[in-house]
Amino acid sequence: MKPFKPYDITLEPCPDWWKVRLPEIAEELSKIRKGRVETIVESKNIQAVFYNEKQFPVPDTRWTIAASSSDPNRYKTSGYDPQCIMLIAGVHGAEAEGVITILNLISLLETGKDLREKERPELCRLLQQYRLVMIPCCNPDGRAISPDHMRGCPMEEFHRISQGVWADGSTITWAESKQFYPLPLDKVSFPGGYPNGEGYNIMHDCAPGKLCTEEAAAILSLAEKCQPDLFLNLHSQERESLLCRPGLFNYAENIRRGNELAAACYRALCAAGFPALEPKGSSQALNLNTAVVMLSGAQAMTYESTTDSGLSFDGLLESHYVMLETVLKAGLQEPFAPRNKR
């Protein structure tokens, strides 16, 4: 693997609690006492964290066949209550907002206070209503070479940090980066935080029969094992925050329910005064979320947090809290994934 140095840019210093560097993430995970930590990719040192675990007996069936059976619920051997939420962050290494959010959720669950020493009792109460499976940093390779945040980052630099820079110094654009799999690392001066160390965009490593990354294989394997009801994939973008509607390669009931959740999130972010994009249209993209739907029938959604939009570091975190409180509250009223309504 060709080693790349972290992207050279001077941005505003982040507060002490904004711990998104790999040693800082490891230190936070080492403090976990109430949850359980499991390394799911040894070679990349990727951990999953579990709270409110239940035993997972080996299912009698797989979702891919149970969904066509007379009783799709047979897939769920561990029972429906409480529902399971699988929360992953940092699939794109430059997008640190989800990483810091998961570390703050862990702190809330461990101590009742987040990394800022602030309480958030309603969020704590809601988190405790679910089985939780969280992967704080899915792409350590990308994280290692990315800045701590992208607040105040000029747009051109945003793309160079995320998608990379060709050897001739020109920017690799967002859509252009998806023309290569893997990104040819011998032709770049900086690969961006998007791909892993081998140049693969983990988010799109979802083709049946041919996974290219250990990261995607581990995430999907865990999803099948834990049978999440909600798979929430935390990303970031330069625009305002958006809980994206579920992808269209999906079950009609998941799309209906997911669209409701996206709309509720938009209303809640607006009501709380956070910059938000109204969810419109739906994507036909094939990505990890699609694979999780196929594996488990889960409601699989991507949250795109803003990296800036004038928010402070506190605002970036607290807007995630608002999104999560909204979604978690809604999940208690109606299940995330109506698996029995196929």
Region near Zn ion per CB under 5 A, out of 50-58, 85-93, 146-154, 328-336: 85-93
In the complex, minimum distance from the CB of residue 175 to Zn ion, in angstroms, rounded to a whole number: 13
Question: To 5 degrees, how large is the angle CA 139–CA 140–CA 141?
Answer: 90
Give me the residues paired with residue 165 across strands.
Answer: 171, 190
Burial label for 180, CB within 10 Å (0-12, 13-18, 19+), is middle
> Minimal distance in Å, beta carbon 318 to Zn ion?
21
Per CB under 5 A, which region of 64-72, 232-240, 254-262, 313-321 contacts Zn ion? 232-240
Query: For residues 97 and 214, which CB has a smaller minimum distance to Zn ion in the complex?
Result: 97
Closest contact distance (angstroms) between CB of 92 and Zn ion is 4
Question: Would you say 96 or 298 has its CB closer to Zn ion?
Answer: 96
Q: In the complex with Zn ion, which residue's Cβ is closer, 142 or 315?
A: 142
Give me the 182-221 binding string for Zn ion, x by CB under 5 A, dash otherwise: ----------------------------------------
b/e code 187-221 from CB counts within 10 Å (16+ = b): ebebbbbbbbbbbbbbbbbbeeeebbbbbbebbbe
| Of 227 and 289, CB closest to Zn ion | 289
Residue given tokens 């035993």 in the structure block: 55
Minimum distance from residue 98 beta carbon to Zn ion (Å): 9
Q: What is the smallest separation between the CB atom of 230 and Zn ion, expressed in angstroms?
A: 18
Write the CA distances from 209 to 58, 212, 216, 246, integer angstroms.
22, 10, 13, 23
Query: Can you say whether residue 294 is alpha, beta or left, with left for phi > 0 and alpha for psi between -120 and 50 degrees?
Result: alpha
| Nearer Cβ to Zn ion (107/237) | 237
Q: Shortest approach of Zn ion to residue 138 CB, angstroms? A: 10
User: Which one-letter amino acid corresponds to residue 21?
Assistant: R
Whichever of 83 and 233 has its CB closer to Zn ion, that residue is 233
Contact 192, 168 (CB under 8 A): no
Instruction: Find the part of the chain contacting Zn ion (CB under 5 A) among 35-43, 84-92, 130-138, 163-171.
Output: 84-92
**Site size with Zn ion, rule: CB under 5 A:** 3
Of these, 19, 149, 159, 235, which contacts Zn ion (CB under 5 A)? 235
Write the DSSP assignment of 244-306 as a string of letters: PPPPSSS-HHHHHHHHHHHHHHHHHHHHTT--BPPP-S-----SHHHHHHHHH--EEEEEEEE
Nearer to Zn ion, 37 or 277 (CB): 277
Binding mask 90-129 for Zn ion (x = CB under 5 A): --x--x----------------------------------
Q: Write down the least CB distance from residue 302 to Zn ion, Å.
A: 8
What span, in angstroms and rounded, lies between the C-alpha atoms of 334 and 342? Answer: 16
Nearest approach in angstroms of CB 203 to Zn ion is 6
Residue 159 interacting with Zn ion (CB under 5 A): no
Terminal Cα-to-Cα distance of the chain (whole angstroms): 45
- Shortest Å distance, C-beta 256 to Zn ion: 25
Interatomic CA distance for residues 42 and 76, integer angstroms: 28
> Based on CB atoms, which residue is closest to Zn ion, 76 or 92?
92
**What phi and psi, each to the nearest 5 degrees, are found at residue 272?**
-85, 0
**Type of residue at 133:** V
Footprint on this chain of Zn ion (rule: CB under 5 A)? 92, 95, 235
